[in-house]
Every structure is written in structure tokens, then in C-alpha cells.
Structure 1
């Protein structure tokens, strides 16, 4: 055994002991974090605006700090971008994680020196938790690949700015960097297909033991290797034993991914976000991900079915129940306050607190990590209809096509009932795709990197949506087909109403 695998075991035992300690006192851990956050930020612009000096408990905090999305936080971020200090958190952020917005365009999520360990240590602890539970540490002596965005960073107001995965790449621990792949130079390549070929060149003859990345990107990596070698991944990387993933729902990819590998390997699911590392899988035997209650984030939970009320309840960790959908609200040492993460979770255990990610508070598509929301597809459609005034639609919905049966690349499939068809459907598709790319930078990145191909339009016959709802027993009332969904349950039924002529 190598020195990494040997030394990891006592370190893993130490981290496990620390985790058990705070997990046994979840309410106390969260109360201490809330008090620390308020005390530290009381003299910031945000703290002064919201009376932090007068806050003594969570009830005071709820009265003083409303739930916000990025658009409502944006004026404070704008002050930081103008060069101000002590705005959301003392000093200036160390980084801005640049991510796709909705009405806000590009979002700049602050990462401070205090919040950075949440991202770095949580990823590390996910691996150490696995080592402690299983005793398997040999993977640390092999080569590790982290498929991520470019680590190249820009500067905004004197603050390093880039994708979260690129920022984190700069903080891989030294004891892992020497066996990390791909090289920094390869990671900086923008075009995904070119980058992927270079990654394969660098890894194909190495002893790869851990592979980490968003499932569709990893699948493309596996497909290219199989095409080049004619072998399953298990025969190319004989010591590959651990797959780490996060960012999208894994289920649509599971069967094909493990078929490509050709054997069973252990896996670790993580729940990272630009706003914070929320949870990770701490057990190969228990359901759910361990919610990180001692990592600089104070959590609040709003029952998803009450989220859009004028004054919904904001629950603390001690007030939640299992098997209830909650919207996740975070307050953190990155300077995020009452921040609606947009995700919904369910608790599957309260001893310790483990969660599963159940979806988004609104309908969305993120089968490939693009986070496309209803507002974006509706705006793209409106813009396209303006450019093609002869076209008229009755209804439409959008779904991902992860594994097209005709062998084409994955794409978004738009099922549209036109009352009047565009005179040039190809031009309409092009305009619609360009509009969505402009509205959503993640979607644009996926097309630029050849992860997705241009969207497909499937024209549906007249009365398709009405007939579908009738067949589902949902015609009338307030029932309607969602604008978009992250699976093919609806699309799989609606496509039966395809227009024949």
C-alpha cells in the first residue's frame, strides 16, 4: 500500500469522530452557526440594513431577513462589483462563482475565505467517510480524474471569478495533486471534444482508480474510450473502483454508465452548489446524503407546498419531518442571507439528518446540468414567434432526450402543437435554439462543448394536448401540462400524438 492509502485511514477516523460529534447535536450545531453568522456580519451593509445588532434568536432573524432569490440579492452583489467592502460579509469575497441566472443573467455568487473550506473540506470528507466505512483506501494510490470546467479565472472588481469547479480545482490538496488528472493545461481547453480527446490521451495508459464528474460528461468519456479501444472500461482501467458524481439526477444514466464500465463499482453521490456544499453520501448502506450542519451554513426549510404563500413557515433543523418536500433556504459565511437555493429535498432520516434531492421548487430541465427553467423556454418561444409572425402555437412542452434511439447526440426535445406552422421550420428551430443559448449560459456551454446537439422540434397533431389530458383523466379544471420536465414521462406519452403530414 502507498503512503496516501495508509495515512488516509487515521485521518478518516478522526474526521468520522468529528462528524459524529456534531451530528449528535444537530440543533445546537445550527444554533451556534446562526449566532456566529449574525455576530460576524452585524457591521456589514447588509447587517446594518437588517438590524443584526438586535437579533437574538431565529424568530428575530425571520422577522428581519426575508427569503430572497438572487435577483433580490443582486443590489448587494452590485455594490461588491463596484468595489465596496463589508457588504454581505466582512471584507471582500475571495472568489465569485459565476453561474447561470434566470431573469438576472449571469449570477456572481460570493465565496469568502471563511466559506471556501465548506467547498474544499466537504469534498475531501466525502472520500474520507467512504474510506472509514469501507476500509477501502487503495484508490488514493492510483490516478484520480476530476472532469470539470476550466480552472482559468477572470477578474471582476479585483476578485477572481470563474466556474465553481474551476475554482475548486485550484484547491485540490497537495497530497492528491500529484496523482490528479487531467493536466492543468488540458483542463483549460474550452472545446469539450478537443479537451476530451486530450484527457483520453493522458489517462488511457494510466492506472485510473477514481473517476469523478457529472454523469453525462463521464458517459461521453467512457464512450470515446470504448470506441478507441474496443474494450469495456473495466478492461482499460482494471483498478477503477470508485465513481463520484453530483450535479444532476443520476438515474437516467445509471444503467448505461455501468454497462459501459462492465462491472460494479462503488459510488459516492455529492450535493455541491455554487452557493455551498450541502450534503454528501456518507454510507454505502444507508439511503440519502448527510446534511452538513456544521460547515458555515445555517439552514431553513419551507414546506414546498406552502412556499408560494405570503408568509410561509421557515423551519429549523429540529422542526423538520421525514418524507416531506422542503425548499432549501441557506444563510452562510459566504454572505448569503435567506437565500432560496431553488432545490427541494426530503429527509429520509433524522438520526443523523440525511436527505435526498427531490427536485426544484419550480419545473426545470437539468438532465445535463443546464438548469433550464420555464421562464427561459417561454421567453425563447416568444422571441422566436416574433421573428416568425406567420407561426402560431397552441401549446408546447420540453423534455430532455438523454439516449435517442436513432443514435444521435442527446438534446432537448420540444413537443409543439402549432395552429399555424412556421414557413421555414429549420429557421424556426435555429432561432429558438439561439434564443435559449443566449438566455441560459449552461445550455450554451453544453452545445459549444458538443455535449448536446441543437434542439429538436416534434410537431404534434391538432388537439394533441387536449386529447392527452383527456386520456390522462385530467381534462378541465386547473390541470395543465407543465412547460418542461426533467424526465420523459410526459414526452413519452405526448409523442404518440405526433403530426403525420
Structure 2
């Protein structure tokens, strides 16, 4: 055991004790965060426009600040991007995390000097809780790999711009730099296929103990390792005992992962977002992830069943209940106010407050981290049929995570009223539109994690017959345009035109 691993255990106990202190005083902690947010942002453009000087309670806040998404704050963000100071938060941001926009191009999520450290500390604390629970820090002596975006950043009017994972790469603690892989040069490779091959070469003969990344990307890395060596991952890396992931539902991957690894391992789930690091798994035995109450985020919650109502219930942490599906709303030290990131969560515990991510408030697909939404699939179809005589009666889209052969893909089930003469050419048009609209989907196709979408033709009347088969046939029941699972897709196999 090295000095590093020897000191890691007492440090982990000290750090987790501090976390438990605020976790055991949740409402006092959130009240402190709320007061700090309002006081600090009082003289910003947003604070002045929304009467922060009159806000003395959460009820006051709800009176002056509405729930909104990125488009609701866009005019303020545009002013910041243009170089203005003191707009949503004091001063200028340290970074903009660039993400895929849903209605009007790329989004620029501000990260400030106050919010940046919370991203780093939360990720670190997830590992420290694991050390305390296992009473073992031997993994810190091995090599650690974090599959992430390029750390090369652009400049936007004096503020650095990049993907969140690339920004975070600049904050790896000094004591971990010697253990960290891939190398900086490899991490900067933009082409994902080339990058993974380089990572395979760099890690092949190393003692890998920690591997982290989006499951679809890591699965590709594992497959390339096995293809090159003919050995299971656990044979190559016998000290690799846990995997860190976030951003997608891991369940569809678990069986495949353990087959590739060759043994059962532990998993640590994270809930990071460009808007803030929201939660992490603090226990291998308890369900859910510990909600980060002391990270400069004041949380609000709206029951998902009420979200589209004219006056939905809007509550703070004090009033949440276990088992209710909530839309999570953020107010942050990055200057996001009443911000709906689109996720739904459910509380698994209130002592301490732990959550699990249940999905998106709108139907979506993010089995591979692509965050595809209904608006995008609708536009893709419209782009493909423009200027043709093709007519579509109904459609739905689902991920195919574990195909019998080849790469995973998005599977489109379409009932044509008037079908295209060349289905493959039509599918390529749809796929091209999807790639144009969604940068994550584009990256997955380019990186050969996904292959282009595949269209299945549904028999005429097939969707109606499907709805009858599940007892939901009628005007009030609609087929979701896309799903993040195969519950609908697997039944629709019974209603396909045989090729």
C-alpha cells in the first residue's frame, strides 16, 4: 500500500463526515444556499428585472421568478455571450459549456468561479464515499481512465467554450495526474474511432483500476480491447473493480458489460449536468443518489403530472414526497433561475435526500447520451418527405441497444400511407437531418458508436391494432413518438410487414 492510498482513507472519512453534516441538516442547508443566491445576484440585470431586492422568502421568489428553460433565459445569455458583465450572475463566467439546443441551435450554459468547484468536489466525493464504505483505497495506486470530450477549448469574447467533460479535464487534481489516462495528446483527438484505438494502445499494459464514461462509449472501448487481445477485460485489468457512469440509464448495458468484463463489479452513478452537478451515488447498498444540497443549487420541484397545467404546484425540498415523479428545477451560482433542465426525478429517501432520474418531462431517447427529443424526429421526417408524395400515418422511435449483429442504432417504426420507392435512401435522408439537428447524435454516428437509423415498415392499421392489443385504443390515447426503452418497439414487432 502506497502513502497515497494510506492517507486516502482518513481523508475520505473526514470529507464524507462534512458531507453528512449538511445532508443531516437539509432544510437549513438549502435555506442558506437560497439566501446567498438572492443576496449575491441582487444587483445583476436579472436580479434587478425580477425584484430580488424585495425577495425575503421562497414564496416571494415564486412570485417574481417564473419557471423557464434555456429559451426563457436566452436574451440574458446572449448578452453575456456578447461580453456583458453582471447579467445573470456577478461578473463574467469562467466558461460556457456548449450543449445541443432543442429549438434554436447550440446552448451556452454559463459556468462561474463559484459553480465550477462544485462539479469537481461532487465527483471527488463520490469516490471518497466508496473508499469509506469499502475501507479500501488501493485503486488510487493504479491507473484511472475517464473517457471524455476533447479538452481543447475555444474562445468566446474572452470566455472559454467547450463541452463540460472537456472543461472538467482541466481540473484533475495534481495528485491524480500521474495516474490519469489517456494522455493529454490522445484526449485531444477529435475523431472518436481514432481516439479509442489510441486509448486501447495506451492502456493495454497498464494496471487499470478505475474506468469512467458514458456506457456506450466505454462498451466500444471494451470491445476493441477484447478484439485486439482475445481476453476479457478482467483478465487484462484484474484490479478493475468498479465503473463510474452518468447521463443514461445503465440497465440495458449491465448484462453486456459484465459479459465483456468477465466478472461482476461495483458501479457508481453520477448525475452531472452542464447546469450543475446534481447528485451522486453515495452507497452501494442504498437506492438512489445523494442530492447535492450544499453545492450552490437551490432546488424546486413540480409534480410531473401537473407540469403542463396553467398553475402547477411548485415546491421546495421541504414538501417533497417519496415515490412522486417530479420535474426538477434549478437556481444556481451560475445564474440559472427557475431553470427546467427537462429531467424528472423521484425521491428514494428523505433521510438523507436521495433521488433517481426517471426520465424527461417530454418523450426522448438518450440510451447512448444523445438526448433526442420529439421536435427533432418530427423535423427529420418532414425534411425527408419535403417535395415528395410520401405520406406517413403513424410512427415511433426506440433505441436498439443490443442488436443481434453490428452496431446499435435507432429503430424507426413507420406506418406509411404512401411509402417511398427507395426505403434505404429515405432512411439516409432522415438520418442526415437528425445529425444536422443533434450534435450528440452526430458524434455517436461519427464515432461509430451508433450506425445510421433503420426503418421498419408497420402494416397498415398496425398502430391501431397495437393500441387495441394493450387496451389503449381510443382518441385520448396517443403513441409516444419516441421512447427511451423498447416496451413499445418489442410489441410492434408483431405488426411489421415481412420483408
Please tell me whether the aligned partners of residues 415 and 495 of structure 1 are also in contact (alpha carbons under 8 angstroms): no
Give the CA deviation at 1:153: 0.6
Distance 2:464 2:199 in 1: 49
Q: Counterparts in 2 of 1:60-459, with a 5 A limit? A: 60-387=60-387, 389-405=388-404, 407-459=405-457
Please tell me whether the aligned partners of residues 390 and 423 of structure 1 are also in contact (alpha carbons under 8 angstroms): no
Give the CA deviation at 1:3: 2.2
Distance 1:117 1:175 in 2: 17
Unmatched runs of 5 consecutive residues or more in structure 1: none
Q: Secondary structure at the match of 1:416?
A: strand
Give the CA deviation at 1:104: 2.6
Q: Secondary structure at the match of 2:386?
A: helix
Give the CA deviation at 1:56: 0.2
Please tell me whether the aligned partners of residues 139 and 242 of structure 1 are also in contact (alpha carbons under 8 angstroms): no
Distance 2:356 2:228 in 1: 37
Please tell me whether the aligned partners of residues 429 and 456 of structure 1 are also in contact (alpha carbons under 8 angstroms): yes
Unmatched runs of 5 consecutive residues or more in structure 2: none
TM-score, length basis structure 1:
0.99
Distance 1:50 1:367 in 2: 38
TM-score, length basis structure 2:
0.99
Please tell me whether the aligned partners of residues 80 and 157 of structure 1 are also in contact (alpha carbons under 8 angstroms): no
Q: Secondary structure at the match of 2:171?
A: coil
Distance 2:26 2:99 in 1: 31
Q: Please give the root-mean-square deviation of Cα atoms over the aligned residues, in Å.
A: 0.9
Q: Aligned pairs, how many?
A: 499
Residue in 1 that maps onto 2:20: 20
Please tell me whether the aligned partners of residues 391 and 423 of structure 1 are also in contact (alpha carbons under 8 angstroms): no
Distance 2:46 2:56 in 1: 17
Distance 1:225 1:88 in 2: 46
Q: Secondary structure at the match of 1:358?
A: strand
Q: After superposition, what is the alpha-carbon deviation per residue over 1:125-160, rounded to whole angstroms, capped at 9, x for unaligned? A: 100111112112000110000001111111111110
Q: After superposition, what is the alpha-carbon deviation per residue over 1:313-351, rounded to whole angstroms, capped at 9, x for unaligned? A: 211111100000000000000110000011111101000
Distance 1:473 1:40 in 2: 54
Q: Secondary structure at the match of 2:18?
A: helix
Give the CA deviation at 1:198: 0.2
Residue in 1 that maps onto 2:475: 477
Detail structure 1 runs of 4+ shifted over 2 Å in the superposition. none
Distance 1:426 1:266 in 2: 42
